[in-house]
Amino acid sequence: MSATVRRTDARMADGRELFYFDDTEPYASGGASRAVPDTRDLPPVQHGSTMRFDVLTGEWVTIAAHRQDRTFLPPPDECPLCPTGRGSEPSEIPAADYDVVVFENRFPSFSQHPDPDVAPAVDGDPLWSQRPAVGRCEVVCFTSDHKGSFANLPPSRVRTVIEAWANRTAELSALPGVEQVFPFENRGPEIGVTLEHPHGQIYAFPFVTPRTAQLITRAGAHRQRTGRDLMGDVLDAERKSGSRIVLDGERWTAFVPAAARWPVEAHLVPHRAVPDFAALDDDERAELAVMYLDLLRRLDRSLGELSQLPYIAGWHQAPVHTGRDLTRLHLQLFSLRRAPGKLKYLAGSESGMGAWVNDASPERIAQRLRDAGGS
């Protein structure tokens, strides 16, 4: 972890772990402590998730019925992600202020303490394998400012978020049963966000996700055929073409993929083949903090709107045990807004068959993002 960021560990009233990542004084140097007791009277966290294997697709489906009761769009004075003292009730964060906070989700899809009495098969039929959903889900609060956004953070605070992602990736990857760690942010009610406070999540999956499994299969076939790295070849080809490049730095490049699915989409890829956040060096982390902010701000300006653009920012990392040399850390950032006031709704052919149709050309998307540069 960077010498300018200090981690403080704490426990919540129901036993969940919480981590403060501080870059401001007197906390960053240890001159003061964020470890404030959680005074709430909380019931135990439910861990009822199971996974069922879909024999038709070869994919695991997680059943997490307890998440039906999770918090949904509370009023600002009842926000569970604001510091305690700013609202009418104590929040998930006991401290009166914070820089960046990570804590265990109260409504997790995956847990290190699942139900041990899960039958190995649904209805006793071996056709449908079933097992506990072992893993972990964490919440990442990017700022204590309820009305803020990731794009409005200073680069120094983004660097703190990156340090938190790296720290949590390393520790979650070491947990029993974890196969892949996925940090992501959903922004905007159009995406389905249930809490307005700027935040993201980290899922520690007990399996390699379908998208990553497909990428590893494609990358493995490419290496066998050419002896080269597929993602490296894609990056080199995009930089050589230049027509879809949005930002090109010393260590990172942002581009719109040649086969973009969404009306606004960009990938941010490191030049060096690193598997995850924990493997990034200091220079790569420093440049990422600046380039990621630039890309997010271009996204907000790309359609000429005054409001913040809804988006999903997914950080794809190599699996913990499988195919780590076949893929690398990269961002997929996209919005479902196709024009001011208009959303892209998936057609039946897209939702039902996975056959995508994009109404915007990738080259035009890239041009809009380049034109959206500036302060």
Q: What is the CATH number of the domain that holds 277?
A: 3.30.428.10
- Verify that 164 and 218 share a domain, yes or no: no
Mean pLDDT for all residues in the chain: 93
- Is residue 267's pLDDT more than 60? yes
Residue tagged 């609202």 (tokens) = 87
Is 1 contained in some domain? no
Residue 199 annotated as catalytic = yes
- Verify that 120 and 217 share a domain, yes or no: no
pLDDT given at position 79: 95
The active-site residue out of 47, 113, 146, 199 is 199
pLDDT given at position 68: 59
Structure tokens at 343: 């959303």
- Verify that 215 and 202 share a domain, yes or no: no
133: left (phi over 0), alpha (psi -120 to 50) or beta: beta
Strand-by-strand arrangement of the 50-54 sheet: 59-63, 50-54, 130-132
- Is residue 8's pLDDT more than 60? yes
- Verify that 144 and 265 share a domain, yes or no: no
pLDDT band at 97 (very low <50, low <70, confident <90, very high): very high
- Verify that 201 and 222 share a domain, yes or no: no
Answer for the pair 178, 206: CB distance below 8 angstroms, yes or no: yes
pLDDT tens-digit profile of 10-54?
999 999 999 999 999 999 999 988 878 999 999 888 788 999 999
pLDDT tens-digit profile of 201-212?
999 999 999 999
Q: Domain residues for 170?
A: 6-207
Is 149 contained in some domain? yes
Task: Report the distance separating Cα 296 and Cα 290, nearest Å.
Answer: 10
Beta-strand runs (E) in 85-210: 100-104, 130-132, 136-141, 180-187, 199-205
pLDDT band at 374 (very low <50, low <70, confident <90, very high): low
Among residues 329, 303, 38, the alpha carbon closest in space to that of 165 is found at 329
pLDDT tens-digit profile of 342-352?
889 889 999 99
Sequence-separated (6 or more) residues with CB below 8 Å from residue 111: 45, 47, 49, 133, 134, 135, 136, 137
Q: Which of 207, 238, 265 is the last residue of a domain?
A: 207
Q: Which of 158, 190, 207 is the last residue of a domain?
A: 207
Is 118 contained in some domain? yes
Q: Number of structural domains, the chain?
A: 2
Among residues 270, 288, 265, the alpha carbon closest in space to that of 359 is found at 265
pLDDT tens-digit profile of 109-147?
999 988 888 999 999 999 999 999 999 999 999 999 999
